[in-house]
A and B are shown apart, each in its own frame.
Chain A
Amino acid sequence: EVQLVQSGAEVKKPGESLKISCKTSGYSFSNYWIAWVRQTPGKGLEWMAMIYPGDSDTRYSPSFQGQVSISADRSLSAAYLQWGSLKASDTAIYYCARRGSSSFSFDPWGQGTLVTVSS
């Protein structure tokens, strides 16, 4: 069974750094793109970025380019999303999701990580 399990909820202050994880199992991690998606009450779902663990190729939405960075560790079958300096507006639920090998959709999804940024 393909599974994506994300790290737990985080509470941070503005300006702090953060790295959240998405640990995968049940498939060949290197051969599938992993996407990160943000969900906020006001803006719904937003596609942020994607990484191909096989060669660490990355793609970013223009809205998130320079604001976050993504990475992958093939030895741990895990993908990561990180911030260098959090803002209150980064408060959201963040999901990782696997792109199908020959499809343009995302399945399955991780359970989500709630990130709260507040002073």
Chain B
Amino acid sequence: QSALTQPASVSGSPGQSITISCTATSSDVGSFDLVSWYQQHPGKAPKLIIYEVTKRPSGLSNRFSGSKSGNTASLTISGLQAEDEADYFCCSYAGTNTWVFGGGTKLTVL
């Protein structure tokens, strides 16, 4: 059982905004300030899109943003596009050089 809980699926129409939540169910993730998010298209490797809760890698679209409130981190995708349809995983540092992933959320663009 993952220490990070995500909804199994979310959906939205092109142009809309969606938010994917990631809730820590264990104190193993500490202050939950070291959350990262990954996008994975079918048959492809995961790709880093958000790190340390709110930071975007260089060159990544600003349509992707991250936030945190208490023990829930969130990924928001604004101006939804067809190519955003993918699986999204959150991940948190769990101390002593170990990490934990969420179960993943399938985003469908209607």
Contact (A110, B45) CB under 8 Å given A104-B36, A105-B52: yes
Question: Would B36 and A95 count as touching, CB distance under 8 A?
Answer: no
Which residue of A is nearest B94, CB measured? Answer: A47
Contact (A44, B98) CB under 8 Å given A105-B51, A111-B45: no
B62 at the interface (CB under 8 A from A): no
25 A-B pairs whose Cβ atoms sit less than 8 Å apart in the complex:
A33-B97, A37-B46, A37-B101, A43-B103, A44-B89, A44-B103, A44-B104, A45-B91, A47-B91, A47-B100, A50-B97, A95-B46, A104-B34, A104-B36, A104-B93, A105-B52, A106-B36, A107-B51, A107-B57, A108-B48, A109-B45, A109-B46, A109-B47, A110-B45, A111-B45
Q: How large is the interface on A (under 10, 10 to 19, 20 to 34, 35 or more residues)?
A: 20 to 34
**CB-defined interface of B24-60 with A at 8 Å, one 1/0 digit per residue?**
0000000000101010000001111001100001000
